[in-house]
């Protein structure tokens, strides 16, 4: 039951951002995500972007996640994950953005960080 509630709340949050005028298209700029093993129990998700980003969604596979944390670049963002399918969402509910640049945007606490991989990346760019 909790998983269904989470799925719907993620969809609702993304729809609210889109309705608020946020442009979610790759034409708005470029942002690339990659995963890097951090420690024995964590991996970091790093993003290099040329434009401000309002939200990010991706799927982590190959590991069993227990927690997702924000970093200095995403302080104040909502960070949620779905244990059943590995989907992670980071988004601002207060018009904040991840500024252009490079660095970690999330820390994933998991069982086998070196085996973590990303797929299904969706970026919500800030309106220009």
pLDDT digits (tens, 9 = 90+) for 66-84: 999 999 999 999 999 999 9
Measured distance CA(108)–CA(66) in Å, rounded: 8
CATH topology of domain 2-125: Immunoglobulin-like (2.60.40)
Query: Which stretches in the chain have pLDDT values below 70?
Result: 1-29, 128
Of 18, 40, 38, the C-alpha closest to 105 is 38
Residue ranges of domains in the chain = 2-125
Residue 42 makes CB contacts below 8 A (sequence gap 6+) with 107, 108, 109, 110, 113
Q: What is the pTM of this model?
A: 0.76
């Amino acid at each position: 039951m909790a998983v269904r509630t989470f799925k719907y709340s993620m969809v609702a949050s993304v729809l609210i951002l889109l309705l608020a005028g946020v442009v979610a298209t790759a034409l708005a700029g470029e942002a690339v995500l990659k995963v890097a093993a951090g420690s024995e129990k964590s991996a970091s998700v790093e993003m290099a972007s040329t434009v401000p980003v309002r939200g990010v969604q991706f799927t982590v596979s190959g590991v069993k996640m227990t927690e997702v944390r924000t970093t200095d670049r995403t302080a104040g963002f909502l960070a949620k994950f779905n244990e059943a399918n590995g989907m992670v969402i980071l988004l601002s509910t207060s018009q904040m953005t991840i500024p252009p640049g490079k660095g970690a945007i999330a820390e994933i606490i998991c069982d086998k960080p070196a085996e973590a991989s990303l797929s299904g990346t969706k970026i919500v760019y800030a309106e220009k």
